């Protein structure tokens, strides 16, 4: 059996509400995602999936519980260590692409390596290889305004891959794309999964979730079953 990449135990996230009220965005959640899995996280707005993704992405901390990322106990890390592990082990793909508008595809894809202090020549080589992998080897010098929506998302995926992360986290990655570009991006995720990449995405779209190996449904901060759909949870 493959090793866990994400391990969550009894995870809670509580926010202060009006007056003395509390909002339990996550309520005692358990989850394991193993190396090479392709997981879709689904549920209505307010179900807690975005909160869970922020914690898994080391962008937020839980109120209580445990979160282990690729064998590292994130609760034991200070903010600098958390930023380092986030940069090294997580690749992010966002709905809005989040590309720098005045820089080329190559420079955008290389950006995580800049923060890691990788030398310029190595940055360019690794970013070019990542862009080649997503089918943009002939667009290295193009800026975002010279690319289609699907091509922009491919640049974002190349940027996420350039560090060879332990897990690829995608938040509504097809939300801004037309149907043809959506199909192209989903085909690319299928290819990355076939290569052994660990992928976890948030989506509201059934067609996107259906491409995943496992679907995890959330409601009221908990993982719940859904008839006819695989149940997420501890593997």
* pLDDT tens track, the chain, 235 positions: 689 999 999 999 998 877 667 889 999 999 999 999 999 999 998 899 999 999 999 999 999 999 999 999 999 999 999 999 998 899 999 999 999 999 999 999 999 999 889 999 999 999 999 999 999 999 999 999 999 999 999 999 999 999 999 999 999 999 999 999 999 999 999 999 999 999 999 998 899 999 999 999 999 999 998 754 444 544 4
Beta bridge partners of residue 13, listed in sequence order? 26
Nearest CA among 209, 198, 210, 203 for reference residue 235: 198
In DSSP terms, which residues pair with 154 in a beta bridge? none
3-class state of residue 25 by DSSP: strand
CA pseudo-torsion sign 170, 171, 172, 177: negative
Contacts of residue 49, Cβ cutoff 8 Å, sequence gap at least 6: 41, 42, 43, 202, 218
Considering the entire predicted model, what is its pTM?
0.90
Question: How far apart are alpha carbons 29 and 43 in whole angstroms?
Answer: 15
Residues sharing a CB contact under 8 Å with residue 112, sequence separation 6 or more, in sequence order = 87, 159, 162, 163
Q: Is 188 helix (H, G, I), strand (E, B) or coil?
A: helix
H-run or E-run covering 205: none
d(Cα 221, Cα 93) in Å, to the nearest integer? 23
- Positions of E strands within the chain: 4-16, 22-34, 38-42, 64-69, 72-73, 90-94, 167-171, 199-202, 214-219, 222-224
Q: At which residue do the structure tokens 């879709």 appear?
A: 40
């Amino acid at each position: 059996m493959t090793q866990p990449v994400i391990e969550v135990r009894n995870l809670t996230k509580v926010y202060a509400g009006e007056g003395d009220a509390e909002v339990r965005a996550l309520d005692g959640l358990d989850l394991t995602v193993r190396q090479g899995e392709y997981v879709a996280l689904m549920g209505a707005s307010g179900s807690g999936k975005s909160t869970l993704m922020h914690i898994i992405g080391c962008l937020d901390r839980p109120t209580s519980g445990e979160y282990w990322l690729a064998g590292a106990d994130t609760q034991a890390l200070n903010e600098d260590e958390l930023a380092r592990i986030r940069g090294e082990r997580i690749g992010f793909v966002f709905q809005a692409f989040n590309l720098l508008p005045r820089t080329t595809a190559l420079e955008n894809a290389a950006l995580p390596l800049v923060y890691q202090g990788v030398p310029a020549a190595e940055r360019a080589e690794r970013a070019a290889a990542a862009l080649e992998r997503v089918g943009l080897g002939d667009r290295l010098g193009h800026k975002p305004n010279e690319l289609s929506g699907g091509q922009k998302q491919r640049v974002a995926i190349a940027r996420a891959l350039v560090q060879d992360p332990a897990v690829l986290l995608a938040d509504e990655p097809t939300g801004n794309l037309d149907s043809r570009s959506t199909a192209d991006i989903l085909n690319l995720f299928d290819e990355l999964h076939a290569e052994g990449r660990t992928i976890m995405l948030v989506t509201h779209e059934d067609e996107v979730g259906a491409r995943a190996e496992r679907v995890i449904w959330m409601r009221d901060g908990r993982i719940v079953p859904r008839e006819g759909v695989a149940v997420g949870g501890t593997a």
